[in-house]
């Protein structure tokens, strides 16, 4: 039984790691789904055990946030933000700074992948009209979306998992991670300015956009009010999954739009991916593989808190790129309780698995969204992207690890 679980687990993580198996036409979601079904079909888990492996809090939180963001999208909110970015920028450096700040801030509250989908077309448009190389700004968009998302428990999918598993209060997590996120965005700006100094030293004539989404003021106001209610609920300690789905339900009720138009914008593939991974990880947990791996590594964890932070942070940086950050978080969550300071180590996991996303092209979905949407107008070579983003990843990760070591030394958590 254990061997079967290992084979299924290995197949699932292979499809996740390489993103796509051409000879089988499988992507990461379909691979995870097949792995989950195989865990039941081959008797590793019963149907009831598979259902119990699902963490509905995480899935409901993700669903609720995606619906709220979808209403913001159709109201014209993200288009309005993009227009503001374009009109505020006067120089290449100014545009870079504005994109980093807007992308970083929005990603903390509205999920980083969504921000990249919304803003990539506008970055391409403004750089095209201004006859400016779009590559520095596209890298800025992807990297800052990853960095900014570390600040909250709803900034990215892995943080949503951590919020559900750890029971960290939303506001406390935000206060702990905010200094790391702010410093990370500053590092992002200076690294990009260093690499693209000549390309940024240009004056921009803010172009007028020929066409943009029509603003639905009524829906925008409703969406902003509901979003504020959701964030206030998070901060007040109300269960995040309930607040997210409550916000979604309120908007469905008061928006006076056909709900199917909104539901069509929900990333159902991501929800299936999450649900399938819960089942796959439940299978290897049942046969004891996670405990065996922890026992093997326990010697490395039986050290001082500062050493634990450094060791675990480095392992997370590497392994989040090997198996992807979401499945990595699902596996190692079972180890957190064995550390000297479990609450601190949840912060380490959030920081390192998020900043690891900038290390490689495939390190985060945000990177892949930006590169995919811009491949026709601004195709990147692998090293061209990786040398810049990789530098940002290592510097931000190093700073974040240092801050968390200090947190541990001061016994703040």
Residue 90 backbone dihedrals phi, psi, to 5 degrees: -110, -25
Determine what percent of the chain is predicted with pLDDT higher than 70.
92
- Apex CA 141: angle with CA 95 and CA 324, to 5°? 165
Is the pLDDT reported for residue 57 higher than 70?
Answer: yes
Joined tokens for residue 38: 């195989």
DSSP alpha helices (H): ranges in 197-304?
A: 197-200, 217-236, 240-254, 259-263, 268-286, 289-301
Residue 236 backbone dihedrals phi, psi, to 5 degrees: -80, -5
What pLDDT sits at residue 232? 94
DSSP alpha helices (H): ranges in 76-134?
A: 77-88, 92-110, 112-129
Q: 136 or 14: whose pLDDT is higher?
A: 136
Is the pLDDT reported for residue 209 higher than 60?
Answer: no
Contacts with 380 (C-beta within 8 Å, 6 or more apart), sequence order: 135, 138, 361, 371, 374
Determine what percent of the chain is predicted with pLDDT higher than 90.
49
Mean pLDDT over 127-141 rounds to 88
The answer to whether the CB of 103 falls within 8 A of the CB of 144 is: yes
Residue 10 exposed, middle or buried by CB count within 10 Å (0-12, 13-18, 19+): exposed
The answer to whether the CB of 284 falls within 8 A of the CB of 6 is: yes
What pLDDT sits at residue 21? 58
Among 166-170, 181-185, 186-190, 268-272, name the one with the lowest average pLDDT.
268-272
Mean pLDDT over 325-346 rounds to 89
What pLDDT sits at residue 393? 96
Which residues are paired to 20 by β-bridges? 27
Q: Which domain holds residue 267?
A: 2-409
Map residue 157 onto helix, strand or coil: helix
Q: 180 or 362: whose pLDDT is higher?
A: 180
Is the pLDDT reported for residue 212 higher than 80?
Answer: no
Map residue 91 onto helix, strand or coil: strand
Is the pLDDT reported for residue 240 higher than 70?
Answer: yes
Joined tokens for residue 374: 């811009």
Q: 85 or 339: whose pLDDT is higher?
A: 339
| pLDDT classification of 91: cutoffs 50, 70, 90 | confident
Contacts with 45 (C-beta within 8 Å, 6 or more apart), sequence order: 39, 53, 279, 282, 283, 286
Sign of torsion over alpha carbons 229, 230, 232, 237 = positive
Is the pLDDT reported for residue 210 higher than 50?
Answer: no
Mean pLDDT over 290-315 rounds to 79
Containing 27, the helix (H) or strand (E) segment is: strand 26-27
Is the pLDDT reported for residue 344 higher than 50?
Answer: yes
Residue with the two structure tokens 């009831």 = 48
What pLDDT sits at residue 246? 97
Q: What is the mean pLDDT of the chain?
A: 87
What pLDDT sits at residue 44? 92
Is the pLDDT reported for residue 320 higher than 80?
Answer: yes
Is the pLDDT reported for residue 30 higher than 50?
Answer: yes
Q: Domains in the chain: how many in total?
A: 1
Q: Which of 30, 40, 29 is nearest to 5 (CA)?
A: 40
What pLDDT sits at residue 206? 57
What pLDDT sits at residue 389? 93
Cα separation, 10 vs 401, whole angstroms = 30
Containing 21, the helix (H) or strand (E) segment is: strand 20-21
Is the pLDDT reported for residue 328 higher than 60?
Answer: yes
């Amino acid at each position: 039984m254990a061997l079967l679980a290992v084979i299924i687990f290995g197949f699932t993580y292979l499809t996740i790691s390489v993103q796509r198996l051409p000879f089988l036409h499988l992507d990461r979601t379909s691979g995870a789904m097949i792995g989950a079904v195989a865990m039941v079909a081959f008797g590793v888990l019963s149907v009831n055990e598979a259902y119990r492996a699902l963490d509905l809090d995480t899935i409901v939180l993700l669903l609720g946030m995606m619906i709220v963001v979808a209403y913001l999208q159709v109201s014209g909110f993200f288009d309005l933000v993009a227009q503001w970015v374009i009109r505020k920028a006067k120089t290449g450096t100014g545009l870079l700074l504005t994109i980093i700040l807007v992308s970083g801030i929005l990603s903390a509250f509205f999920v980083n992948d969504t921000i990249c989908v919304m803003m990539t077309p506008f970055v391409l448009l403004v750089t095209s009209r201004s006859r400016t190389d779009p590559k520095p700004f596209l890298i800025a968009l992807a990297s800052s979306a990853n960095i900014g998302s570390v600040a909250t428990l709803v900034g990215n999918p892995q943080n949503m998992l951590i919020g559900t598993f750890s029971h960290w209060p939303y506001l406390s997590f935000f206060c702990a991670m905010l200094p790391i996120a702010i410093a990370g965005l500053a590092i992002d700006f200076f690294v990009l300015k260093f690499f693209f100094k000549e390309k940024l030293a240009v004056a921009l004539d803010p172009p007028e956009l020929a066409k943009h989404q029509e603003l639905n003021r009524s829906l925008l106001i409703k969406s902003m009010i509901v979003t504020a209610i959701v964030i206030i609920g998070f901060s007040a300690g109300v269960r995040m999954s309930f607040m997210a789905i409550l916000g979604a339900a309120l908007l469905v009720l008061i928006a006076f739009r056909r709900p199917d138009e909104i539901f069509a914008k929900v990333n159902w593939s991501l929800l299936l991916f999450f649900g399938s991974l819960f089942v796959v990880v439940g299978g290897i947990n049942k046969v004891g593989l996670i405990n065996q791996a922890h026992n093997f590594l326990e010697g490395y964890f039986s050290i001082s808190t500062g050493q634990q932070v450094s060791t675990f942070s480095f392992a997370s940086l590497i392994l989040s790129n090997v198996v992807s950050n979401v499945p990595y978080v699902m596996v190692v969550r079972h180890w957190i309780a064995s550390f000297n300071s479990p609450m601190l180590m949840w912060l380490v996991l959030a920081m390192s698995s998020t900043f690891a996303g900038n290390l490689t092209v495939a390190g985060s979905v945000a990177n892949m969204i930006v590169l995919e949407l811009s491949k026709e107008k601004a195709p990147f070579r692998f090293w061209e992207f990786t040398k810049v983003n990789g530098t940002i990843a290592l510097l931000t990760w190093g700073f974040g690890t240092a801050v968390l070591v200090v947190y541990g030394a001061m016994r703040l958590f």
